[in-house]
Amino acid sequence: MNDGMRTLADVVEQVFDGLDKTLADHRARLSVREVGTVIEVGSGVAQVAGLTDVMDQEIIEFPGGLLGIAIDLDSSRIGVVLLGHYHHLSSGAAAHRTGRALDVPVGEALLGRVVDGVGRPIDDKGPVQARERRPVEQPAPPILARAPVSVPLQSGIKAIDAAIPIGRGQRQLILGDRQTGKTSIAIDTLLNQRGSGVVGIYCAIGQRNAAVAQVVATLRDGGAMERCIAIVAAGDDPPALQFVAPYAATTMAEYFMQRGQDVVLILDDLTRHARAYRELSLLLRRPPGREAYPGDIFFIHSRLLERATHLDNAHGGGSLTALPIIETEAQDIAAYIPTNLISITDGQIYLSPEQFHKGQLPAVDIGRSVSRVGGKAQLRAYRAVAADLRLAYAQYEEFETFARFGTRLDPDTRRALERGRRVREMLKQSEHDLLSVGEQIAVLYATTQGLLDDVPIDRIADVEADIRERLRTDLPELRERLDGGHDLDAHALSQIRTAVEAAVRELVDQPSKDRP
């Protein structure tokens, strides 16, 4: 018993000795924290006084864990945009400096997740276990760190891959009126990257929650979500979150690019992003300019899209392909925001409402669309079969206009009209019905070489399906070679011609046969 009491006494003595040593070594340190006062709260913004040393883009903390970004600095007050619901915030509340800029989680842990505009998970899968965080505002890569865009990014859409090719590292704008299929083209491009190792990032800005949920479900059902990240700043979120979201998405994409991977970034859409920034600027009482947008509306998009590029091997060799989407009104591509973005990007895919209403889907207007990278980012096999596709299509549209007036046409013009009709019919494609490179080459060759001139217009889709099936079943090696980027030699052309002629012959012999 006495031994037990002595042991307990020794333990207590050791504890007190440790406490005495810790107290003796302790030195009090002062912690300086600058605190301001909220003097006004508006719709998503707050005016704060007393923070004299605050930095631009610094995070300000309010009661309840609410965060804001200082973007309007004045000698007597600062304007803070709020990154959350602010109904509990009122005048007189304390505002604390944090000394840091807004950052978001980055890394592999985000793949397959749905997060909000600042990287917080909203998919009920628990917290994001990211090992690294990076500021949402990053400088664009310098010119000397960039490499030419030379590797194609296959969308799986005939009209785009053949006539308006996209390269990895390019900034290709998608624009058109409301409900013309802009998001569908972007999502199909993401779906077509399955198995290619390309990381997809979809950033929804100001969209309806139901529409975003449908996009996420499409990516998941198509097997692409495991290599994608969805960043959502919905229409009912504060405008500051909608403004920050695309910068956060670009930061997440840069993480993979700087590690040598290829990334596709969908920004859906920058029209709503510009409107959110206009709302914030007006609430902060900044001077309005054209269409009430602030003077730096061009800069907010240029500094965002300039971060998309193809890095050279010394800097990792990765690429970030940006596909920003904007919405036009009444087909006015010369409006303020569309012209700004057209001047920033490397080309545009224009979707025509007229073609959409005629059932020409996807409604890509080849004449008004352009890729400034062009054939440099296109497989050589395409050049062999679709080099004159844009010119032939433009000529067909011109001939069609004259034909409407009942003009008497010579045989060559009538022949060009018939072939043009088949080219237009061949360019039709159902949503999510993506074609491999080999399938596209075969169908394009059959159409441009006149092998389908004798096929009725309403049977073009049947012949196309037959050609694709023959390529998959009878010519799998050729299909794999073309998918791998090999050139289209004479032997390959002969094989394609034989398959096409067999498909046409079977259609002529059995015109009433039902085909899948």
pTM summary value: 0.89
Q: CA 399, CA 393: separation in Å to the nearest integer?
A: 10
Q: State the pLDDT at residue 133.
A: 94
Contact 267, 320 (CB under 8 A): no
The per-residue pLDDT of the chain, averaged, comes to 89
**Mean pLDDT for the stretch of residues 97-116:** 94
Q: State the pLDDT at residue 26.
A: 67
For residue 199, is pLDDT > 90?
Answer: yes
For residue 418, is pLDDT > 90?
Answer: no
Indicate the pLDDT class of residue 506, thresholds 50, 70 and 90. Answer: confident
For residue 363, is pLDDT > 80?
Answer: yes
Indicate the pLDDT class of residue 515, thresholds 50, 70 and 90. Answer: very low
pLDDT tens, residue by residue, 284-342: 999 999 999 999 999 999 999 999 999 999 999 999 999 999 999 999 999 999 999 99
* Residue 414 appears among annotated catalytic residues: no
For residue 86, is pLDDT > 60?
Answer: yes
Respond yes or no on whether the N-terminal peptide bond of residue 239 is cis (omega within 30° of 0). no
**Mean pLDDT for the stretch of residues 48-56:** 90
Of 372, 390, 459, 515, which is the active-site residue? 372
Q: State the pLDDT at residue 511.
A: 52
**Mean pLDDT for the stretch of residues 172-195:** 95
- Between 387 and 440, whose confidence is greater? 440
Q: CA 423, CA 464: separation in Å to the nearest integer?
A: 12
Query: How far from 294 is each of 97, 247, 487, CA to CA, in Å?
Result: 27, 19, 50
For residue 5, is pLDDT > 70?
Answer: no
User: Which domains are assigned to the chain?
Assistant: 35-101 (2.40.30.20), 105-378 (3.40.50.300), 384-509 (1.20.150.20)
- Between 284 and 409, whose confidence is greater? 284
Among residues 493, 483, 470, 478, the alpha carbon closest in space to that of 385 is found at 493
Q: State the pLDDT at residue 32.
A: 66
C-alpha torsion angle, residues 55, 100, 120, 132 (rounded to 10): 140
Q: State the pLDDT at residue 29.
A: 66
Q: State the pLDDT at residue 516.
A: 44
Q: What DSSP character marks residue 287?
A: P
Q: State the pLDDT at residue 306.
A: 96
Q: CA 227, CA 437: separation in Å to the nearest integer?
A: 21
For residue 1, is pLDDT > 50?
Answer: no
**Mean pLDDT for the stretch of residues 41-47:** 91
For residue 47, is pLDDT > 70?
Answer: yes
How does 47-71 read in b/e, with b if 16+ C-beta sit within 10 Å?
bbebbeebeeebbbebeeebbbbbb
Q: CA 242, CA 330: separation in Å to the nearest integer?
A: 25
Q: State the pLDDT at residue 439.
A: 94
Q: CA 352, CA 354: separation in Å to the nearest integer?
A: 5
**Mean pLDDT for the stretch of residues 258-287:** 95
Q: Is 403 exposed, middle or buried (0-12, 13-18, 19+ CB in 10 A)?
A: middle
Positive or negative: CA dihedral 291, 293, 294, 297? negative
Coil, strand or helix at 286: coil
- Cβ atoms < 10 Å from Cβ of 89: 18
Q: State the pLDDT at residue 246.
A: 97
Contact 429, 406 (CB under 8 A): no
How does 226-236 read in b/e, with b if 16+ C-beta sit within 10 Å?
ebbbbbbbbee
For residue 509, is pLDDT > 80?
Answer: no
Among residues 69, 74, 86, the alpha carbon closest in space to that of 244 is found at 69
92: left (phi over 0), alpha (psi -120 to 50) or beta: left
For residue 4, is pLDDT > 60?
Answer: no
For residue 427, is pLDDT > 70?
Answer: yes
What one-character-per-residue DSSP string does 207-242 give? --HHHHHHHHHHHHHTT-GGGEEEEEE-TTS-HHHH
